[in-house]
Amino acid sequence: MRSFGLNEIWYMLQATQWTLYLSILTFVLGGSVGFFIALARCSRSRLLRAISGLYIQIFQSTPLLMQLFLIFFGLSLIGFRLPVLVAGSIALTFWASAFLGEIWRGCIEAVPEQQTEAADSLALTPWQQLRYVILPQASKIALPPTIGFFVQIIKNTSLTSIIGVTELMRASTNMNNATFEPMKVLAVASLIYFATCYPLSLISRKLENKLNVDH
């Protein structure tokens, strides 16, 4: 039987990079989709609003674990033999885009109506209004909750270990099976997660407080 030592911790740290890659990938892809979801939620077309609303509702009202399973089994059903990493990131992207879309919708709506009206009277096109008036103000409000949600993404990448992605959580389970020392292994795993997430949470809170003072 292996004992839990520096080599095992090193192995877990190496697996942590996959947690980070997966988180960043999810954030970038989910953010890109989520941006359009947010715009659709705020659009003037009722149909677009309804569709994006349903999209958000579906992904916010079902467990992420189920979304992972459905994508994982669904893709292989259609005939795609994709690595679990790809299936995992697709599911996480859907999930993250729904949440980010809803967060950013709130931020866009937080920009006062008069701003749009003023931009309208300056004869800016809708795109120009968005680009030069709404988004610069909305992005300032959006920064703290977005960083907060990034922490959620990092934590939830741990669920991909259940379908077999080798990231930090999976590596911990492997180490646990090899050494039978769950307390030590899980303590190290939680410390790594904490060390990654806590600074981000602090930054998010600092920015939020600053925003509250400014307004």
Partner 1 sequence: MDIVFQFGPVFKRMDLIIDGVTMTIQVALLSTFLGFLIGIICARIRIEGSKKAKFVVACYVEFIRNTPFLVQLFMFAFGLPQFVALLGFNIRPSPYYLAIIALSINLGAYSTEIIRAGLEAIPKSQIEAAQGLALTPFQIFSRISLPPAIAKVYPALSSQFILHMLGTSVISTISVQELTLSAGRIQSETFRAFESYFIVTAIYFALAIAFRIIFKLAARFALPWLHKTTNRS
Q: Give the interface with partner 1 as residue ranges (CB under 8 A).
A: 58, 60-67, 69-70, 73-74, 77-79, 151, 155-156, 158-159, 161-162, 169, 172-173, 176, 181-183, 186-187, 189-190, 193-194, 197-198, 201
Output the smallest distance, CB 189 to partner 1, in A. 5
Q: Is the Cβ of residue 100 or residue 189 nearer to partner 1 in the bound state?
A: 189
**CB of 136 vs partner 1, minimal distance in Å:** 29
Q: Which CB, 67 or 129, lies closer to partner 1?
A: 67
Please say which residue, 13 or 122, places its beta carbon nearer to partner 1.
13
Cβ of residue 156: shortest distance to partner 1, in angstroms?
7
Q: Which of 193, 135, 136, 130 is nearest to 159 (CA)?
A: 193
Q: For residue 96, which phi and psi values (nearest 5 degrees)?
A: -65, -35
Q: Which is nearer to partner 1, 108 or 168 (CB)?
A: 168
CA torsion sign for 203, 206, 212, 215 is negative
Of the CA atoms within 13 Å of residue 187, those in its CB half-sphere come to 5
Q: Are 211 and 147 in contact (CB under 8 A)?
A: no
Nearer to partner 1, 86 or 197 (CB): 197
Distance CA 172, CA 159 (A): 13
Which runs of consecutive H residues, i.e. helices, occur in 111-181? Answer: 113-121, 126-128, 135-156, 160-163, 168-179
For 131, the token pair is: 């680009």
For the bound state, the minimum distance from the C-beta of residue 51 to partner 1, rounded and expressed in Å, comes to 17
Smallest separation, CB 49 to partner 1 (Å): 19
